[in-house]
Amino acid sequence: MGTNNLIFLENIEWFDESGQELVHRIPEEGSGEIKYGAQLTVRESQAGVFFYRGKAVGAFGPGRHTLKTANIPILTKIASLPWAMSSPLRAEVYLVNLKVFTNLKWGTRDPVAFKDSELGLVRLRAFGVFNLQVVQPVLFINTMVGTKGMLTTAEIEEYLNRVIVSRFNDLMGESLDSILNLPSRYDTLSEGLTERLSSDFSHFGIRLTHLYINAITPPAEVQQAIDDRSRMGAFQDMNKLMQMKAAMAMEKAAQSEGTSGAADGMGAGLGLMLPAMFAQYFAGGPARQPANSGPADSTCPECRHPVPVDAKFCPQCGHQQVVFDQCQVCSKNLTPGTKFCPRCGHAVEDRPIPRTCTKCGAENLTDSLYCNQCGDKL
C-alpha cells in the first residue's frame, strides 16, 4: 500500500533482496503523506530514520514503532484542497542496512608513483578487498545518500577506492624505503592503512571493519630484480641448511659402531636427507592473510569512553551518539542547524579543498602527503 492513500494507515518495512543495498527510502519516489499512527518495523540488522517536514526527527532501532505526524486520514485530504489534494506535511522513512558488507574491491586504476631508494621512481599497482559497516545512520544519509531513493555498494565503491589509494600512496611514501622489502611488510601496511582510513570513513558514518592487501605489483623489470634477489637469498639459506644437515649426519655416523657401519650410516643419511631438503625448499607454504579486526565497540567521539553500539548518549559524558553532521576539521559531532563548530570554530559550510600538485597539476585529497600521479611530496 502506498503512502498517499486516503484512508488506511501505512505499515512500513523493507527487505534487501539483492544484499547490496546500503539504504532504501520509503516511498521510493519522492516523499509521502505518512499518517499519524503508521507502523514502522525495523529488523535486527537495520536502523530506521524518520524524516518529517524535511528534517530527521528520529532514529529507530530494531522493533515496531509508531510514527507521529499531523496527517490524519480523510481530514488531511480535505485540508489539502489548496495544494491540489496533496498534503504539504511530507514525510519519508530511510531504512539503513547495518550488516557488514564484505568483499568490496579496491585497487589502483592507474599505476601510482613511488620513489624507491634503490630503484628510483617506479610505478606500482596495488589491489585488495575491504569490508565496511554503517554505524551512524543519520550522518550517513546526510553526507552520502542525500535525497536518493536507494544507495548500493557499487555506487560508493569508486569514491572509497579513491580515498584508499590516496592513503595507500601516503603510507608507502612514509613507511617504506624500497619495494624490495615489500614481501615482509604486507601485514604492517594493511594495519597502518586501516588506521589511517578509520578517520576518513567516520566522517560519513561508516566503519572500516577489515582491509586486506592482496598484491602490490611493480613493473616487469622491477619484479625481475626482486625475484633475482630472492633467489640469491634462498640459495644462501639452502647452503647453510645443507651444511647443518651434513654435520648432523656425520655426528650420527661417528656414534655408530664400526667404521663400515659409520660410512654406510652417513651415506644413507645423506641419501635420505637431500630429497627432503629439496622438497622442503621448493614446496611453497600457504599464503598468509593479514588479520585485521575492526573495533568491537564504538567509542564516544568526545571523551573516548566505550559505549554500546545502539546507545544514543554516552553514559560517561552525556554526548549525543546519533550523529547528524560532523566538523570536517576536528570531527566534532554537530547538532542540526549549527553554523560554526563549537570546538574549533570552523564554518560548517566550508568543505575541504583538494590539494593540487605544483609539479604535475593532479588533484589529491585535502590532507594527502604525496601526489598520486607523480609521487612528489605535496
For residue 27, whether the previous peptide bond is cis, meaning omega lies within 30 degrees of 0, is: yes
More reliable by pLDDT, 230 or 206 = 206
Q: Is residue 300 part of a domain?
A: no
Q: What is the pLDDT of residue 224?
A: 74
User: Is 302 part of a structural domain of the chain?
Assistant: no
Rounded to the nearest 10 degrees, the angle between the axes of helix 153-175 and helix 186-202 is 130
Assigned domain for 228 exists: yes
Per-residue confidence (pLDDT) for residue 308, from 0 to 100? 80
> 207 and 123 in one domain?
yes
Q: Which three cell numbers stand for residue 230?
A: 630472492
85 lies in the same domain as 27: yes
Please indicate, yes or no, whether residues 330 and 198 belong to a single structural domain of this protein: yes
Q: What is the overall mean pLDDT for the chain?
A: 79
Residue 10 pLDDT exceeds 50: yes
Among 106-110, 112-116, 233-237, 334-338, the minimum mean pLDDT is found in 233-237
Kindly state the average pLDDT of the residues 303-332. Answer: 75
**The amino acid at 162:** R
List the one residue out of 169, 211, 368, 209 whose CA is nearest residue 295: 209
For residue 4, name the pLDDT band (cuts at 50, 70, 90): low
pLDDT at 238: 57
> Which pLDDT band, with edges at 50, 70 and 90, does 296 fall under?
very low
Q: Please check whether residue 130 lies inside any domain of the structure.
A: yes
Output the pLDDT for position 285.
Answer: 47
Lowest-confidence segment of 18-27, 116-125, 162-171, 284-293 by average pLDDT: 284-293
- Flag whether pLDDT at 254 surpasses 70: no
Largest pairwise CA distance in the chain: 116
Residue 47 gets which letter from DSSP?
A: E
| pLDDT tens for each residue of 129-138 | 999 999 999 9
Shared-domain flag, residues 181 and 105? yes
What band does 68 get if pLDDT is binned at 50, 70 and 90?
A: very high
Confidence label for 348 from pLDDT (cuts 50, 70 and 90): confident
Check whether residue 167 and residue 252 sit in a common domain: no
Confirm whether 373 is domain-assigned: no
pLDDT for 256 beyond 80: no
How many domains does the chain fold into? 3
Residues 157 and 85 in one domain: no
Say if 299 falls within a structural domain. no
Hey, is 199 helix, strand or coil? helix
Residue 229 belongs to what H/E stretch?
helix 220-255
- 298 found inside a domain: no
Which pLDDT band, with edges at 50, 70 and 90, does 237 fall under?
A: low
Q: Classify 216 as helix, strand or coil.
A: strand
Same domain, yes or no: 203 and 63: no
> Are the C-beta atoms of 140 and 193 separated by less than 8 Å?
no
Q: What pLDDT score does 217 carry?
A: 84
pTM of this structure: 0.63
pLDDT over 70 percentage in the chain: 74
Mean pLDDT of 35-61: 93
User: What is the predicted pLDDT for the residue at 294?
Assistant: 43
Percent of the chain predicted with pLDDT > 90: 29
CA angle 347, 352, 353 (to 5 degrees): 125
Mean pLDDT of 165-180: 84
Is residue 109 domain-shared with residue 45, that is, in the same domain?
A: no
DSSP string, 115-159: EETTTEEEEEEEEEEEEEEE--HHHHIIIIITT-SEEEHHHHHHH
Q: Which of 171-175, 204-208, 277-281, 287-291 has the highest mean pLDDT?
A: 204-208
pLDDT of the residue at 118: 77
pLDDT grade for 180, boundaries at 50, 70 and 90: confident
Give how far Cα 359 sits from Cα of 355, 363, 378, Å. 12, 11, 9
Q: What is the pLDDT of residue 20?
A: 92
Tell me the residue length of the chain: 378
Smallest Cα–Cα separation from 205: which of 344, 47, 82, 1?
47
Of 6-20, 49-63, 300-314, 334-348, which one has max mean pLDDT? 49-63
Residue 289 pLDDT grade (very low, low, confident, very high; cuts 50, 70, 90)? very low
Structural domain that includes position 260: 221-281
